[in-house]
Amino acid sequence: MTTEPPDGAHGPRPLDRRSPLPLWAQLFDDLRRRMQAGAFTEEFPAEHRLTAEYEVSRHTVREALRKLRADGLVIAERGRASRLDTRRIQQPLGSLYSLFRELEGQGVEQRSEVLRLERTADGTVAGHLGLIPDAPLIVLERLRLADGEPLAHDTAYLPAEIAEPLLETDFGHTSLYGELSRRCGVKVTGGRERIQPFLPDIRQAWLLGLADREPAFAIERLGRAGERPVEWRETVVRGDRFTFVAEWSDDSRAVALAPRAACPSS
């Protein structure tokens, strides 16, 4: 059994039976809140414990657990107690984010193997950045690891005129955006991102430890500092270790989260 206190961040909060939100949805939200606060690290509570803690029916508990499993937050296997899915990384959509900070914030050890950090030129990438075709670029290619296991193959291009100081950086355990701000005085403030299913090539599959023809996510990202494009990034992410999450409300200013819409990361 866990030794969490009945109150505080790890403990359950009362459900509002007068709320129009169904009890199972309130229970789902509260369990997710407790997870984010660090609860259930040793084991996830059984159905009977949750029915007693929240004073709800087993049907309500099962609906909440079904949603937790569907969202990849809890693993349920026959003959074993439910447990948190600590292998799957959650990534928010529709906001400026740093993959480095998101992983660290979720308690995941993040490090990178730098495959390439050098000057280069690429006419297609230069076009994305609004530069002449032979403009010098800095390219940073990394294999991103989460808790020692491959998560993403990441290649970022930046204009050499602003990113030259990055050539002296050790990117084994730091963020690109943090170093870009610290060493170059350039802060990424926004951008756009396109996410789509993708079949990695042989090299990418080998780097990420994927089986032949195993799908992944492909992400293309354009980062801007103010109005100026300063980063073009191509990332392949393991689909079995990554979940994209969007939150919305009926009174929020609309950000259309069509299959191709999102924002940048580092």
**SS3 track for 173-222:** HCCHHHHHHHHHCCCCCEEEEEEEEECCCHHHHHHHCCCCCCCEEEEEEE
Average pLDDT along the chain, 266 residues, taken 10 residues at a time:
48 91 93 82 82 93 84 60 57 58 66 96 97 97 88 95 97 92 94 90 91 86 95 90 66 44 46
What was the pLDDT predicted at 214? Answer: 84
- Report the alpha-carbon distance of residue 191 to residue 197 in Å, rounded: 21
| Cβ atoms of 67 and 28 closer than 8 Å | yes
Distance of CA 77 to the CA centre of its chain: 25
Write out pLDDT tens, residues 195-250: 899 999 999 999 998 887 888 999 999 999 999 999 999 999 988 777 766 666 66
What was the pLDDT predicted at 210? Answer: 83
What was the pLDDT predicted at 146? Answer: 81
Q: Residue 66: which residues within 8 A CB-CB, separation 6 or more?
A: none
Tokens of 18: 């007068």
What was the pLDDT predicted at 137? Answer: 98
Tokens of 19: 């709320």
Fold exhibited by the domain 23-84: Arc Repressor Mutant, subunit A (1.10.10)
What was the pLDDT predicted at 256? Answer: 43
Distance of CA 42 to the CA centre of its chain: 23
Distance of CA 228 to the CA centre of its chain: 25
- Tell me which CATH code domain 89-245 carries: 3.40.1410.10
Instruction: For the chain, give every domain's residue range.
Output: 23-84, 89-245
| Cβ atoms of 155 and 218 closer than 8 Å | no
| Cβ atoms of 31 and 24 closer than 8 Å | no
What was the pLDDT predicted at 67? Answer: 85
Task: Give the count of alpha carbons within 13 A of 168, CB side only.
Answer: 5
- Report the alpha-carbon distance of residue 198 to residue 177 in Å, rounded: 26
Distance of CA 11 to the CA centre of its chain: 26
Distance of CA 103 to the CA centre of its chain: 7
What was the pLDDT predicted at 101? Answer: 61
Q: How far is CA 64 from CA 29, 178, 192, 243, in A?
A: 9, 38, 33, 19
Q: Which of 165, 164, 175 is nearest to 137 (CA)?
A: 164
DSSP SS3 for 167: helix
What was the pLDDT predicted at 259? Answer: 39
Task: Give the count of alpha carbons within 13 A of 82, CB side only.
Answer: 18
DSSP SS3 for 77: coil
